[in-house]
Amino acid sequence: MDLTSLEPGQTLLSEPLVISIGDAAQYRAAVEDDAGLYAKEHVVPPMAVAAKLMTAAMDAVGLPAGAVHTGQELEFARPVAEGTELACIVMVVQNNLRQGTRFLVLELSGTEGEELAVAGRTTIAITEGEGTS
Amino acid sequence: MSTSSVSGAPETLTPVTHRVSQAQLVKYADASGDHNPLHLDVDFAAGTPYGKPIAHGMLVLAFVSELLTKSFGRAWLCGGKLKTRFRAPVYPGDMVTASGTLKSATDAQATYTVSVHNQGGEAVITGEATVPLAA
């Protein structure tokens, strides 16, 4: 995707996301989070949802390999049970070029039915000339 | 956690420490789906300003969420908010510690200054977290 063409308000992604019991366990092992709450209550670590949303957003944009994550806002509205299907949306909020670096701000959300589960805003810096992948 | 404030919110949160390894970055890439070579490919990373692979920002941020989950349990999952900046890279081998200090509190919520520092005392993540307090 041509990063220069991204417009504020543009929807980059709108698709379902399911984090299975296995996915949640794999995530907990990867981040070495030994808090027992998630396994005990069969809920997904909220950062696992955020991470999957981020990856989906980055894949949708086709960010170059050297893109760097510089800021992150997150809101966890409600716990997400393992295996729950979330409706995920990623939108462009800002797309600015400053001193040779492109700053892309994306808004992410994961909704269960009518209820917001996770929302966030991420800022990514891309050095111009790295191209797109 | 240490001394509680008038609101009942603790003044400081019990820190969470992790040593980040290259093996962990591989595991995190598989778990998150983020296979950016900046985190995984030594040759690619050598050609970047970092010179070597760096940890995923969302992996290091997960340590802040762990800190808050261990401190507040379900309350963090039911209305927690986080606003952070990634200040410096974390490299495999680094020992990082997530911590939090109470900034303000009402009967309804507490706001903490949160950070992650590396073994050299450098802040790699800074920000704020807001947690709803049980009635």
Interchain contact B40–A (C-beta under 8 A): no
pLDDT tens track for B39-90: 999 999 999 989 999 999 999 999 999 999 999 999 999 999 999 999 999 9
Chain B residues close to A67, C-beta within 8 Å: 36, 38
What residue spans define the domains of chain A? Answer: 3-127
For domain A3-127, give the CATH number: 3.10.129.10
Two structure tokens written together for A58: 């980055």
| Architecture of the CATH domain B12-132 | Roll (3.10)
Instruction: Please tell me the distance in Å from B100's CA to the nearest CA on chain A.
Output: 17
Instruction: Using only the alpha carbons of chain A, give its radius of gyration.
Output: 16
The answer to whether B132 faces chain A, any CB pair under 8 Å, is no
Q: With CB atoms and an 8 Å threshold, state whether A79 touches B18.
A: no
Of A99, A33, A105, A45, nearest in space to A69 by CA: A105
Give the phi and the psi of residue A30 in degrees, each rounded to 5: -65, -40
Given a contact cutoff of 8 angstroms between Cβ atoms, the answer to whether A60 and B89 are in contact is no
* List of chain A residues whose C-beta atoms are within 8 Å of the C-beta of residue B80: 46, 75-76
In B, minimum Cα distance to A33 occurs at: B66
pTM of the model: 0.94
Amino acid identity, position B99: S
ipTM: 0.92
pLDDT in tens, A101-116: 999 999 999 999 999 9
